[in-house]
Amino acid sequence: MEPLRPDDPEQLGPYRLVARLGAGGMGRVYLARSSHGETVAVKAIRPEMMEDKNFRIRFRREAEAARAVGGIYTAPVVDAEPDAETPWLATAYIPGPTLAEAVSEHGPLPVETVLGLGAGIAEALIAVHAAGMVHRDLKPTNVLLASDGPRVIDFGIVRALDGYELTGSGTLFGSLEYMCPEQATGDPMGPAGDIFCLGSVLAFAASGHAPFSGAAAAALLYQVVHGSPDLTRVPEPLDKIISLCLAKDPSLRITPDRLSAACAPGGAEQMFKDGWLPAPVAATIAGYTAAVMDLDIAAREWDRLTSYTADPHDSVPPANCPQAAGSATGTRRAYDSAAAGVGVLTEVRAPEPCQFSEAAEPERPTPPAHHRARTWSRVSRRTVLAASVGTALVGGAGLLIAKKRTVAHAVQPLGPAPEPTWIYRGGPLLQAPAVFTNGTALLKARPGNILCLDVQNGSQPRWVYQGISQSPTPALLVDGVVVALGTGATVIGVDAATGTEKFTLDFGADYRFDQLFGSYGGSVVSAIGVRLQRQSAEQGVATSTNTVFGIDIQARRALVIPISPEDIGIPLEPVVLPGYFVYADGLRNVTVRRTGDSGSVLWRHPVGYDLRPGLAVLGRTVFAIGSELIALDLVTGKLRWRVKADRGQFASLGVAGNTVYATGTDPSGVYAFSAANGSRRWFCETPRLNVDNHIAVGRRKLYVPAFQNSNGFYAIDTASGRLLWNFTDGRETGINDWQLSCDGEGHLVAQHFDRAYGLPV
């Protein structure tokens, strides 16, 4: 839950917006109140969704379909307006975290809780299917945990069973990790598909990870269709129940009524009578409830205050002013915070916002009693609600900040951000940072282009090459040649200076390359993909997924680097160096393989906790992060030093010179450590960060993206650790994160969806 922002509407239909709840693929979700005092969640559809001329027709059908769904364990749709300027849909608000949030914060859930979860969601699917619907996107973020049981939400991509395709055809819909085989292969999906997705959701709840995974989309989809689920961390009897959901053949899957009975023999409602959730999750729900109550109080008080017509000549405080009459605690706290400055959460009492303005004017006759009023200083409804969000969340569940901390101040940059020296505007850019060569930055864009921008003035490309794949990794530089993947199993080389094609190598139908990792040995690039082994034309193909290749450009051959079984399905983000392939494997090890002799293991270092996939190498030292930051010798794997996080974990890395930088999650910020011995040099506290991307380190500054895309990114002085400034273009672009990268001279190229900004050294 977050405060409303300047670009958010005040009202959608009959609902006045109170706070932000989140954002998804289709739009933003807000907490709102109706004119009758009902609290709801309202989804406002993104403007770009309406570019499809058939969108409103589909959205109207989807809203009607979702309204038909009943049942105790769903969040019912209460209203919708598909023909509004901004189409919206309102559902009942359920105070509680998503399953994804609960597991991320508190770890896997107890067996009894997961059994209750299975029973409740199965009952929800019974209601969905009884209405002639298929949900099609059942995943942890679409399951809310309430004190009286789970709730299935987001019927935005349901499909009626009458054959009418509400979301169009020819496109994959849903989350890859939680798809059923029918979705992955493009076959029709019926009610049994929801059961498969439910099995994956329950596996996540019980173990903390999805049962299918892969380093690339193709590998992941293959696992869903052909692979065995990973249920090694799922305790009995959940493993047996989940296995009945995950049968590849839809006709062999357990039905939702049998699943509900298997999870709750005495009936689903019996599971939720006496505290079905572990204490930390129950406390979170209590915090949500308290926060919403405070916001409701603030909204009601604001409505009361603004319903009073003020007169500038009255000398008596209005009766409904909190100074004249007692006000509710939540509203008073909100007003205190608003007066002190939104986001500055202190205990210092400040003047109430309804204090009188004492503008000097000539004496006038006393107006009649019924006109008695006076001007009071203006604080907008948005400001009051924003302050109430901050106060409620700090005093309640701490939903915006870490629960174990008390924030006494807001973190503010020291000065304004510099103006960009240039701005490139074009088509959507791929989610891959820029690569630098000879004063230029190389970017990748849709539908498959390489752009060459001058770091001094990149408003217009020097050259554009068309025809690469849309893999989400940067291009590579090999002896002055820009190397990228094409379609299938092709590797393309482009002259870095002119953009002319140097070569295209096609390795044939027996291979497919998905992502480039790095280069080594002069002319060899490393990639992940699929090796196809054909048995016969009738039998089709058998694939070996997550295969790592060493592609020798000069010799025009692809060598397979075998990956151990425990690594299959792990999101690989290796560091590739001459002789070394360094990565975090699936068994909590830092693993180093050779690149020159079929990928044999040089060493493994067990850490005993979940590693973040992004590692870093500086000289002869490997850095890995999780609950600790560890430094390992590249050649031997010997531990050089370790630093444990005080709270939370270390989440992303950057290295330069003799310093290793790491983001922390609690408190949010960036640490600087000596690369030689791990001694701390400084810590810079920041607002919440997006920790899924590496830290971009320049000559004198480093750059880290904000948690919300619309908040841009932050600059920190590398010498002192001071938070310098915050740059943003104010745009919310959903899943399109900021991509930050620096060259050796300190030029920063910041990419955001369809724009790139060049910032000065």
Catalytic residues: 137
Phi-psi region of 467 (alpha: psi -120 to 50; beta: other; left: phi over 0): left
CB 712 within 8 A of CB 738: yes
Contacts of 753 (CB under 8 A, 6+ apart): 428, 429, 731, 733, 736
* Residue 282 token pair: 């129950």
Q: Are 608 and 587 in contact (CB under 8 A)?
A: no
**Alpha helix segments (H runs only) across 396-470:** none
- Separation between Cα atoms, residue 34 and residue 14, nearest integer Å: 6
The dihedrals phi and psi of 126, each to the nearest 5 degrees, come to: -60, -45
Q: Quick one: which H or E segment has residue 185?
A: helix 181-185
| Distant-in-sequence, close-in-space partners of 487: CB < 8 Å, separation ≥ 6 | 469
Contacts for 273 with CB less than 8 Å, ≥ 6 apart? none
Take residue 736 and report the two structure tokens written for it: 């399109």
Rounded to 5°, angle at Cα 523 from 518 and 524: 45
Cβ burial of 699 (10 Å; 0-12, 13-18, 19+) is middle
Query: C-alpha distances in angstroms, 618 versus 527, 654, 659, 741?
Result: 22, 10, 9, 17
Residue 418 token pair: 């510099």
From residue 28, give the alpha-carbon distance in Å to each of 22, 24, 308, 382, 409: 6, 6, 32, 17, 28
Rounded Cα distance, 534 and 683, in Å: 55
AA letter at 609: Y
Give me the residues paired with residue 476 across strands.
Answer: 483
Residue type, 476: L
Give ∠ CA 69-238-568 in degrees, rounded to 5. Answer: 100
For the chain, give the number of residues: 761
What is the spatial distance between Cα 431 and Cα 83, in angstroms, rounded to a whole number? 33
Residue 307: count of CB within 10 angstroms of its CB: 8
**Contact residues for 356 (Cβ-Cβ < 8 A; gap 6+):** 317, 374, 375, 376
Q: Residue 749 pairs with which residues in a beta bridge?
A: 741, 758
- The per-residue b/e assignment along 155-174, b for 16 or more CB within 10 angstroms, e otherwise, is bbbbbbeeeeebbeeeeebb
What is the spatial distance between Cα 552 and Cα 549, in angstroms, rounded to a whole number?
9
Check: CB of residue 160 under 8 Å from CB of residue 61.
yes
d(CA 406, CA 249): 51
83 to each of 68, 108, 520, 564, 571, how far by Cα in Å?
Answer: 19, 42, 56, 54, 42
Furthest-apart CA atoms within the chain: distance in Å: 102
Helix (H), strand (E) at residue 195: helix 191-207
For residue 608, what is the DSSP state? S
Q: Are 725 and 413 in contact (CB under 8 A)?
A: yes
Find residue 443's DSSP bridge partners: 451
3-state secondary structure 245-267: HCCCCHHHCCCHHHHHHHHCCCC
3-state secondary structure at position 84: coil
Q: Is 145 left (phi over 0), alpha (psi -120 to 50) or beta?
A: beta
